[in-house]
């Protein structure tokens, strides 16, 4: 059973930065496409970023150039560095493995997420 624990969220002013972490247990993150998703208030969950097993990265257009996904294999942890944050980035952020289509979450279980709030 995979367990995902997200952390690092907080309240930040527009233009600021945050670094999110996703610690995984029960699965080795380097064996999966790992990604970040977010759910904003009143909206559907959306794909944010993913990293393939060969460390290629892909981003939603809305975050391209501002967010960077990375992983530490030794810590079995995936990160999301978020720079130049905007109020529209406000959401609960989750990590999960990503299916072959590149945007669909793979694991059936989710962590608790981490809240990111960007004030204008």
Indicate whether 78 pLDDT > 90. Answer: yes
Whether residue 30 is predicted with pLDDT greater than 90 in this model: the reply is yes
pLDDT of amino acid 16: 98
CB-based contact 93:6 (threshold 8 Å): yes
Cα distances (angstroms) measured from residue 55 to each of 3, 6, 52: 22, 20, 5
* Residue 30, φ and ψ in degrees, nearest 5: -70, -10
- pLDDT at residue 1 above 90? no
**Over residues 87-93, mean pLDDT:** 98
- Chain-wide mean pLDDT for the chain? 96
Count how many residues are written for the chain. Answer: 120
**Confidence label for 89 from pLDDT (cuts 50, 70 and 90):** very high
Give pLDDT, residue 5.
Answer: 98
pLDDT at residue number 14: 98
**pLDDT, tens digit, for every residue of 102-114?**
899 999 899 999 9
Assigned token pair, 78: 């995936």
C-alpha to C-alpha distance for 33 and 2, rounded to whole angstroms: 14
Q: CA nearest 95: which of 107, 83, 85?
A: 107
């Amino acid at each position: 059973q995979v367990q995902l624990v997200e952390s690092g969220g907080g309240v930040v002013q527009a233009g600021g930065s945050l670094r999110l972490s996703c610690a995984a247990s029960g699965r080795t993150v380097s064996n999966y496409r790992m990604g970040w998703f977010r759910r904003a208030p009143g909206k559907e969950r959306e794909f944010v970023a993913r990293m393939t097993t060969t460390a290629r990265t892909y981003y939603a257009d809305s975050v391209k150039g501002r967010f960077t996904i990375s992983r530490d294999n030794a810590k079995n942890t995936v990160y999301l560095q978020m720079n130049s944050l905007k109020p529209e980035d406000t959401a609960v952020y989750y990590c999960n493995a990503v299916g072959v289509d590149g945007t669909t979450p793979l694991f059936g279980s989710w962590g608790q997420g981490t809240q990111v709030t960007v004030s204008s």
